[in-house]
Structure 1
Amino acid sequence: MKCHRLNELIELMQPEWQKEPDLNLMEFIAKLANEAGYNGELAELTDDVLIYHLKMRNSQKDDMIPGLAKDQEDDFKTALLKARGIIK
């Protein structure tokens, strides 16, 4: 895991974990994994699952994933021209 990903995970996890101080770290991670729909072994849980789940945890079901929202275009023509590099 890269250092910046660890920092991002800690920044996202800290305020959420403070809401449930009775849980130890592994219990909290297991709870996050369960909420995200992860069914595998915790040892195989990726940081991506935790990061994206924490980013979307308090959002509405129809909210767009933050990484995709920045590229959203309402107009198909504009999206196509941007994808082809014609406009920025």
Structure 2
Amino acid sequence: MKCHRVNELIELIHPEWKKEPELNLMQFIVKLVEETKYEGKLEDLTDDVLIYHLKMRNSEKTEMIPGLAKDQEDDFKTAILRARGLL
């Protein structure tokens, strides 16, 4: 993990973990992993899974993922022109 990823993860996990102070860090991470429905080994879990889950944890189920929302275009023509670098 790079330093900026560690910092991002800490910034995201801190306010959520404060809501459940009775859990230690590993218990809280296991809870997050269970919420994501991840079925692999805990040691194979990527930081991206935790980061995106924490970003989306308190959002509506229909809300778009933050990384995708910034690139969304409302009409096809604008999307094509932007993809070709014309806009």
Is this a same-fold pair by TM over 0.5? yes
Counterpart for residue 21 of structure 2: 21
Percent identical across equivalent pairs? 75
Counterpart for residue 41 of structure 1: 41
Superposition CA RMSD, Å:
0.5
Residue 42 of structure 1: CA displacement?
A: 1.1
Between stretches 63-72 and 34-43, larger displacement belongs to 34-43
Counterpart for residue 71 of structure 2: 71
Residue 40 of structure 1: CA displacement?
A: 1.4
Rounded Cα–Cα distance in structure 2 between residues aligned with 1:84 and 1:52: 28
Extract unaligned runs of 5+ from structure 2. Answer: none
Rounded Cα–Cα distance in structure 1 between residues aligned with 2:29 and 2:40: 13
Normalised TM-score (structure 1): 0.96
Extract unaligned runs of 5+ from structure 1. Answer: none
Rounded Cα–Cα distance in structure 1 between residues aligned with 2:15 and 2:46: 20
